[in-house]
Structure 1
């Protein structure tokens, strides 16, 4: 057996394509003290049986960037290593069988144009010309991506392993990692066993590339890695005479994909309800194994396939394959360092797109480890988005039975998960439910998205057009604009930062000046060294030594990591208090009228101005009233201890009948915020977006002294902006915007919308997006151009503005 070293800089656990890619890319960066340990043989888990589809277009620009990188890498690996990867750039075709799917794939084609991916929109006849074996009787449209292709997954992994070895990495098979050792909250090494021997490798870093084994391995160190294996089925036909090379074909309306390979057809499926596997753990001896056939489960897919491609009627089945692959609760994989254990990195959970993802993911993770920061915005796949409760195995088993099928389901906007619901609920959940709330879920939180009227069905009717709740959103939106609305935002992340050094600590992290008197609220960002936005939050000073931070519920874990990462030796305590308080935003021009009915406190501008917080009485209880707004109206966010939340809610609702109070959902809040051009973290602002280019310079105070990102802000102010956040309103009131629609300036694509919604007060769809500009370009010059937006291939005129189109002077929030 090859000698196993006693020390290494890094140990990579798992010899599938993910682990081999991480090793290869670290070695390319000059790391030499690399050890990869594989429990059995390289590729023996999931990689060996993957279909090997290489599709470049993903749901966002950076995920597309990673997929394109993978395709480019695989095309070059054979020349570098001498191992054939089987990569063939045969292109791909996706066909639509319904009008809704047609809208989806045409939006994807528009997205491809914005991302610089070559794309052709096809009529049914053009689909048939490129794929002559297809029954196109009910095909309504197609999209062709010439740069897509297919490859041999096992050979790619072996080529990556060879490339890593050539540069000095040690790759050892038949060595199982039994435990990752730690001390002081940091990785110290791994214990291993092999052929009866046992030992330890001391190291500073590990990467869990364990695939479907990764969850249980991570759990040993209390690291949350939410994934679960599912059975994945495909068949391979016997040789079909005369079958020429064909593009990869996807028929998502029939849950099927087709790959021609060496004169045979591989037919695979992402069925609507999947079969989770390995609930009790993956068998110890699993190696190049497959699971029992389940012809009954696959039969509905096969029946439709035979009708779709008649040549299959006479083709024999050479292989019926069933193998496990790991899936995650949101169909996105995990990259990054574990939030609670320094030196513990993850690259796992690829949701059946591991081959096209692993090349780029390995590059990104290696660069991240090398530089100490992500090479670009990777929040979509960041391990910090995982919620601690998601390690629950029953939760995972139920959820992945759905997420596998969602890969080929219609990707409608506002689609809600149906499985594993109800885990996290606000204290007001049942009160909202009986009043017609229709819930969505974010980070496990059940949140009222809209309220059904009496007799209206309480579920989504999904579409790319106006959905069944559009009128409800309009009513709630206008209540917030013209009357008063009440929301439940208990899902906000809430963090107490307190101690002797709390003020100095937050001054170092925040771009705005948070050293303010007690009771003041400061809107701010926490920046990285490049001026990118790591967190978007409000900071309320409670006392000389105590601050209260409010962040989005989805980013809470990320924000906690960022705070704790920079603690050093500061005398500060950081506490997650999210579950302790309910949050009731009371918003609208009549918000003060309602509060006067239930509280004896003075709520005038003089006594309670915008940007301040203080305790008030409501009914028989108490609330901390924060005078802030995410909808752009007069209002307060009422923070109420969980035990008093129901009483305060009932008091407001009862009194609210006198002033026309309307219960409102998150959809209305979002449509209001986009009218006001308020930014949304994760869409409009990320760690890759400079705070000045995001239009948030008003929240940056360089004169206060040093803080993270200050030098970058000063440099950007001197050099000028290279792009600016612009708000758009479609002049045609009919189309809808969601996000990623291409922005055209004078007829040329210059970017894509970062977010979109309907502006019911402004009378049209509203979008936000970045527009490139010259550093010396004036606002007047930027806005003098003609702007249009591409919506599924149709071009619509848009009004553009740098100031909010709704209430640009913000007089309403200070009313």
Structure 2
């Protein structure tokens, strides 16, 4: 009979490929007192019926590096453990049926070059030469990724498990976790059907059960199961072990070799969510759901169209295995903000086999080091608020997410399901003004405003969409007159108490020991001297500070602050995001507009840049902060939520003769790029520090006040970085960039565009890029100035001007000379 130990340093819940990978990597890092608990037998949940595709190229560099590590691991694991992983490099072929898809594939080739991966553009005939079974009458082109491969999910899991055991881990099957224990606000172990286990760390790798396991700990794990279908055919002439993986995303399908036959699966456009996460039956071991040939028909018809021999090939087995999907199609990794010591690795959206090696290592390193060791922002569990825990909301959203898995990945696509959730107090006024709405962290926000009489709908295109003209009008109004931006979705926190200054001086890179009424731009850095957040800190009294951050980072910011304030600090941290609306009043006539609403003065002498104070606008007392993210004279107004509507209406009433317009986030994006302002999660990541970002001015390095990450920043300050953030402007106004494009220096790949938009003032595409010398040199000014720079836009190259200075108002004259 199985017995459980009374104590372990780490308990991993779930014996699928992710749990076994985490355990394996923990032992490789020296943490050998690890226990893996599996309620059935290894790989019996969702791992065993995975298709096993291992495609290296992902949408981001960070994601690509994770999968690259996976392939390296799988290739050597058999020699280490003596158990095969079934890993085989066979190459991957992706075909395009439409010009829009072909643009995506050309962009994919450029991304591969940025990540130093081999990827080749093919003609239809060349695609058929690689995969003779396909017909290519409707194919417009294809790409070939020779490094793609496949693994056997069950074999891979067993090999990782054996490697973990060899490292000292204990793996127990048929032990069900029924509770998660905590003590003094930290995880303390688990309760099982065979007894309790004390533990310093608990890692939730329970697959589609992870949400229910998280609930045992009071932790939000936003995922929901959906039915996922594939069939395995009888043997097919011409099919061999090294047949490439075929992806036909316009037909929603993928195909791989399976014991001489073909495994045919896909991601149908209208998905089928399964039962709620708290209603998954137990036991559910090596189990499948009922066949649904009617639902699978769209996939099978598409596969037969692409591979005609399938019309006369028998079906050996129909698989309908539920898998877990997340609201944004990215997996969940990290330490839970609700319970320190409780980690999550789940929600892999049908890419668990490809991701398992890299994700397992990344999560194990996070456990051991206490923080991520690489850029995991895109998969960080803390990107979701507790609102994302609603089963009804997840069911609606996940059905859309799975259905978009093989859709053309338009860079500005807005998800449509499960909206709205969080509304600005002026939401209805934005709609009346013609707002095209987007969503960020569940907030409904105005991206751009349609002209009167035009339907406010975003169009999706790789070329210049029609809404760009609307955005250009908003930019020009901001540069020439005045615009009002509803920025209520900003995250807002109050830090208060006798030790608030001491704590913030430790957390913040910039000096926040400023007079009351001053706002300071600062970073929150980790011990490696790289970014965890960037925000503004306003001192509102001797012991009170008002922090403003991005809409997407509320949970992450609060978690970071609470974990890293000095243990003896007497303070409170309060989330006041919903208590205030925020209106950005920006443009050369913003001063006139604000002065028209009251007796307060907003001239340079009375209201310097960086000043923040309470003023009366109309009949409402608001906090006005002179600051900008668009590079113009302007103020952010923080208005009590219940009074926001009247202030918003007053702004447009008083500004009618000044040319005031409503403006959205697309205009903010374009203007901040013209000004070279960086954004967290794009230019500022956990792989980038202030030196590479060009933001050392926001670090208090001259005095003797220590701050988290200071020593790391100082260690890099004297040497030009290997990679750095630069501004650029495209020479040809017809070129439209979205971000992610390959950057070349003298014809050699040198980096990627991190953000891009069409700037009305510079009259061309403008953006920021992260670039460096692949030959190991430093990205100093001479290296930047001596090169000929280009961007690759879907295979076409355009010259760009690269600079360390912003293309718009590099001297800051538009902001006033008193900006220091």
Q: Which TM-score tier does this pair reach, normalised by the shorter chain?
A: over 0.9
> Is 1:310 aligned with 2:312?
no
1:641 aligned residue: 640
3-state DSSP of counterpart to 2:430: helix
RMSD value, Cα = 1.3
Contact 1:788 1:795 in 2 (8 A): yes
Structure 1: gaps (5+ residues): none
> Is 1:202 aligned with 2:201?
no
3-state DSSP of counterpart to 2:486: coil
Q: Give 1:718-729 correspondences, 5 Å limit.
A: 718-729=718-729
Contact 1:719 1:775 in 2 (8 A): no
1:800 aligned residue: 802
* Whole-Å separation in 1 of the counterparts to 2:782 and 2:36: 57
3-state DSSP of counterpart to 1:129: helix
Write the deviation string for residues 185-232 of structure 1: whole angstroms up to 9, x where unpaired: 101111111xxxx31111110000011111011012210100000000
2:150 aligned residue: 150
**TM-fit CA distance, 1:722:** 2.8
* Whole-Å separation in 2 of the counterparts to 1:671 and 1:718: 32
2:259 aligned residue: 262
**TM-fit CA distance, 1:369:** 1.3
Contact 1:85 1:156 in 2 (8 A): yes
* Whole-Å separation in 2 of the counterparts to 1:776 and 1:2: 57
Contact 1:499 1:571 in 2 (8 A): yes
> Is 1:615 aligned with 2:614?
yes
* Whole-Å separation in 1 of the counterparts to 2:783 and 2:162: 54
* Whole-Å separation in 2 of the counterparts to 1:6 and 1:804: 60
Write the deviation string for residues 54-84 of structure 1: whole angstroms up to 9, x where unpaired: 0000011111000011111111112222222
**TM-fit CA distance, 1:595:** 1.3
* Whole-Å separation in 1 of the counterparts to 2:46 and 2:576: 40
* Whole-Å separation in 1 of the counterparts to 2:274 and 2:723: 48
Write the deviation string for residues 308-365 of structure 1: whole angstroms up to 9, x where unpaired: 1101010011111111000000000111100121110010000010000111100111
Contact 1:728 1:799 in 2 (8 A): yes
Q: Give 1:17-36 correspondences, 5 Å limit.
A: 17-36=17-36
3-state DSSP of counterpart to 1:135: coil
**TM-fit CA distance, 1:779:** 2.4
Write the deviation string for residues 708-744 of structure 1: whole angstroms up to 9, x where unpaired: 1221222222344333221111101111222221111
3-state DSSP of counterpart to 1:243: coil
1:594 aligned residue: 593
Q: Give 1:775-814 correspondences, 5 Å limit.
A: 779-814=781-816
1:674 aligned residue: 673
Q: Give 1:211-290 correspondences, 5 Å limit.
A: 211-244=207-240, 245-279=242-276, 280-290=278-288
2:489 aligned residue: 491
* Whole-Å separation in 2 of the counterparts to 1:719 and 1:480: 39
Quick check: 304-313 or 140-149, which moved more? 304-313
Q: Give 1:674-693 correspondences, 5 Å limit.
A: 674-693=673-692
Quick check: 462-471 or 540-549, which moved more? 462-471
1:716 aligned residue: 716
3-state DSSP of counterpart to 2:43: coil
* Whole-Å separation in 1 of the counterparts to 2:321 and 2:224: 13
Contact 2:35 2:172 in 1 (8 A): yes
3-state DSSP of counterpart to 1:653: helix
1:541 aligned residue: 539
Write the deviation string for residues 134-163 of structure 1: whole angstroms up to 9, x where unpaired: 121111110110000111111100110011
Structure 2: gaps (5+ residues): none
* Whole-Å separation in 2 of the counterparts to 1:125 and 1:227: 41
* Whole-Å separation in 2 of the counterparts to 1:350 and 1:57: 16
* Whole-Å separation in 1 of the counterparts to 2:48 and 2:350: 12
* Whole-Å separation in 1 of the counterparts to 2:351 and 2:617: 52
**TM-fit CA distance, 1:454:** 2.0
**TM-fit CA distance, 1:305:** 1.6
**TM-fit CA distance, 1:780:** 4.4
2:700 aligned residue: 701
1:741 aligned residue: 741
3-state DSSP of counterpart to 2:4: coil
**TM-fit CA distance, 1:409:** 0.7
**TM-fit CA distance, 1:511:** 1.1
Contact 2:784 2:803 in 1 (8 A): no
**TM-fit CA distance, 1:579:** 0.2
2:138 aligned residue: 138
Given the superposition, is the C-alpha separation of residues 316 and 775 from structure 1 closer, same or farther in structure 2, using an over 3 Å criterion?
A: closer
Given the superposition, is the C-alpha separation of residues 781 and 51 from structure 1 closer, same or farther in structure 2, using an over 3 Å criterion?
A: closer
* Whole-Å separation in 2 of the counterparts to 1:601 and 1:671: 31
**TM-fit CA distance, 1:771:** 2.5
* Whole-Å separation in 2 of the counterparts to 1:291 and 1:720: 57
Number of equivalences: 811
> Is 1:123 aligned with 2:120?
no
* Whole-Å separation in 2 of the counterparts to 1:230 and 1:699: 46
3-state DSSP of counterpart to 2:121: strand
TM-score (norm: length of structure 1): 0.98
